């Protein structure tokens, strides 16, 4: 009987070790790592932008807030060989620093890449002699503008284009077509009648390109020209409007919409 009791005692399961609780310092260290990683991603990979104008409707609306991929179109580096670096291609939507207004971020669609011949005839874009099929394009005014719609055949009226572009444009025209030089891109807005784009300020330097919008993370109904209201009173008033109308004026159907 004693032997049997000893056997049972020997085979009895040992008590489970007590679960170790995370200390305050360990919790702070974990949160610090998360914040550092998040800051790295936002600083070097993603950047948030707000769409201020109607030049890219209906692809992007006033009040759309987008995350921009800053890596793919960045200059290639050797320290991150697995990153799929590439140059902008036809149809890419890009965010870039305006060559006409330093410090202003602009979003347009790439229509011409280096070597392309660009021409507009009655509002239709021809690239290398072929008319483009552009289902994303809209015309909101219904008006006719000789320079805008027959670029670059028609000379621009005085004051319509930047002085720099007025001096440079003729040197890039061959047989009535604009030839895109190396390291430069020709961009246009999808809302062609109101878009202030490469027809007016010239080519987009590759070094000015920030990245490409990936998806809309929030969209709020804003009146046109809201971005021009920069006074403290205007900003406070708009912040109050966002708080009051967050739920009924947020465009929920556009949340996480992929930008194409």
Q: Is the pLDDT of residue 35 over 70?
A: no
Per mean pLDDT, which range of 80-89, 97-106, 250-259 is the poorest? 80-89
34 or 97: which carries more pLDDT confidence?
A: 97
Could you tell me how many residues make up the chain?
Answer: 260
* Alpha-helical regions (H) of the chain: 2-11, 24-44, 146-149, 163-168, 198-201, 232-249
Q: Are strands 105-112 and 209-219 parallel, antiparallel or unpaired?
A: unpaired
What is the phi-psi region of residue 193: left when phi exceeds 0, alpha when psi lies from -120 to 50, beta otherwise? alpha
**Average pLDDT score over the chain:** 87
| CATH number of this structure's domain 48-219 | 2.10.109.10
Q: Is the pLDDT of residue 4 over 80?
A: no
Interval 162-184 mean pLDDT: 96
CA distance linking residue 24 with residue 190, whole number of Å: 53
Q: Is the pLDDT of residue 220 over 50?
A: yes
pLDDT single digits (tens) 109-133:
999 999 999 999 999 999 999 999 9
Which segments of 6-155 are extended strands (E)?
46-50, 64-69, 93-97, 105-112, 117-121, 124-127, 130-131
Task: Return the SS3 of 73.
Answer: coil
Judge contact between 30 and 7, C-beta under 8 A: no
Six-digit token pair at 69?
A: 């991929």
pLDDT single digits (tens) 223-257:
988 888 889 999 999 999 999 999 999 999 999 99
Write down the pLDDT at residue 238: 93
Judge contact between 140 and 57, C-beta under 8 A: yes
110 or 47: which carries more pLDDT confidence?
A: 110
Write down the pLDDT at residue 145: 95
What are the backbone dihedrals phi and psi of residue 48, each rounded to the nearest 5 degrees, phi first? -90, 135
Per the listing, tokens 């310092």 go with 25
DSSP state of 98: -
pLDDT single digits (tens) 18-29:
556 667 776 666
- What sign has the CA pseudo-torsion 92, 93, 98, 103? negative
Write down the pLDDT at residue 158: 87
Predicted TM-score (pTM) of the model is 0.81
For residue 49, give the nearest of 100, 113, 90, 97 by alpha carbon: 97
Q: Is the pLDDT of residue 39 over 70?
A: no
Six-digit token pair at 228?
A: 């021009």
Q: Is the pLDDT of residue 70 over 70?
A: yes
What confidence category does residue 37 fall into, taking pLDDT thresholds of 50, 70 and 90? low
pLDDT single digits (tens) 71-82:
889 776 555 555
For the chain, give the percent of residues with pLDDT over 70.
Answer: 80
Burial class of residue 68, CB neighbours in 10 A (0-12, 13-18, 19+) = buried
């Amino acid at each position: 009987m004693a032997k049997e009791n000893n056997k049972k005692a020997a085979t009895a399961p040992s008590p489970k070790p007590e679960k170790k609780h995370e200390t305050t310092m360990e919790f702070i260290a974990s949160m610090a790592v998360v914040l550092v990683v998040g800051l790295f991603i936002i600083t070097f990979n993603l950047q948030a932008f707000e769409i201020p104008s109607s030049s890219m409707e209906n692809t992007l609306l006033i009040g759309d807030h987008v995350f921009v991929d800053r890596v793919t179109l960045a200059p290639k580096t050797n320290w991150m060989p697995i990153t799929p670096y590439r140059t902008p291609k036809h149809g890419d939507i890009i965010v870039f620093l305006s060559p006409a207004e330093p410090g202003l971020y602009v979003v347009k669609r790439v229509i011409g890449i280096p070597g392309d011949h660009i021409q507009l005839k009655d509002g239709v874009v021809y690239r290398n002699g072929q008319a483009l099929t552009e289902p994303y394009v809209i015309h909101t005014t219904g008006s006719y503008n000789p320079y805008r719609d027959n670029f670059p055949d028609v000379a621009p009226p005085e004051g319509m284009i930047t002085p720099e572009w007025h001096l440079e444009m003729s040197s890039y025209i061959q047989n009535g077509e604009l030839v895109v030089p190396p390291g430069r891109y020709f961009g246009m807005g999808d809302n062609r009648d109101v878009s202030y784009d490469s027809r007016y300020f010239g080519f987009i330097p590759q070094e000015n390109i920030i990245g490409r919008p990936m998806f809309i993370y929030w969209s709020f109904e804003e009146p046109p020209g809201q971005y021009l209201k920069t006074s403290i009173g205007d900003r406070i008033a708009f912040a109050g409007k966002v708080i009051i109308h967050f739920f009924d004026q947020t465009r929920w159907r556009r949340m996480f919409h992929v930008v194409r």
